[in-house]
Amino acid sequence: MDKYKRVGITAKSGLEYKSEAVKHILSILDELGVAVLIDPTRIKDPTELGSLKPFTNENDIDLLIVVGGDGTVLRAVREFHCFNVPILTINKGTVGFLSELELDELDELLPDILNGNGKVEERGILDISAFRGKKKLFSGYALNDAVIAQGTIARLVDLHTTVNDEELTTFHADGLIVSTPTGSTAYSLAAGGPIVHPKLDAIILTPINPHSFSQKPILISSSSKVNIEVATKQNKFRDTEVILTIDGQEYVSLKHGDHVLVCGCNDTVQFLRRKQDTFFGTLRQKLKWGEQL
Q: Give 261-271 pLDDT, tens digit per residue.
A: 999 998 999 99
* Domain boundaries, given as residue ranges, for the chain: 2-116, 125-266
- Answer whether CATH 2.130.10.10 is correct for domain 2-116: no
Q: Give 28-40 pLDDT, tens digit per residue.
A: 999 999 999 988 8
Interatomic CA distance for residues 230 and 203, integer angstroms: 20
The CATH number that domain 125-266 falls under is 2.60.200.30
Nearest to 121 by CA among 98, 102, 144, 105: 98
User: What percent of the chain clears pLDDT 70, i.e. is strictly above it?
Assistant: 88
Q: What integer pLDDT is reported at residue 46 of this predicted model? A: 46
Q: What integer pLDDT is reported at residue 13 of this predicted model? A: 78
Interatomic CA distance for residues 273 and 264, integer angstroms: 23
pLDDT higher than 70, residue 47: no
pLDDT higher than 80, residue 48: no
Note if 174 is an active site residue: no
Q: What integer pLDDT is reported at residue 269 of this predicted model? A: 95
Residue 141 CB neighbours (<10 A): 18
Nearest to 68 by CA among 11, 144, 143: 11
Helix (H), strand (E) at residue 19: helix 18-32
pTM: 0.90
**DSSP calls for 233-275:** PP-SS-PPPEEEEETTTEEEEE-TT-EEEEEEEEEEEEEEEES
Interatomic CA distance for residues 166 and 240, integer angstroms: 27
- The single residue of 39, 70, 247, 258 carrying the catalytic annotation is 70
Interatomic CA distance for residues 118 and 108, integer angstroms: 13
What's the count of helices (H) and strands (E) in the chain, helices before strands? 6, 18
Q: Give 211-236 pLDDT, tens digit per residue.
A: 988 899 999 999 999 999 999 876 55
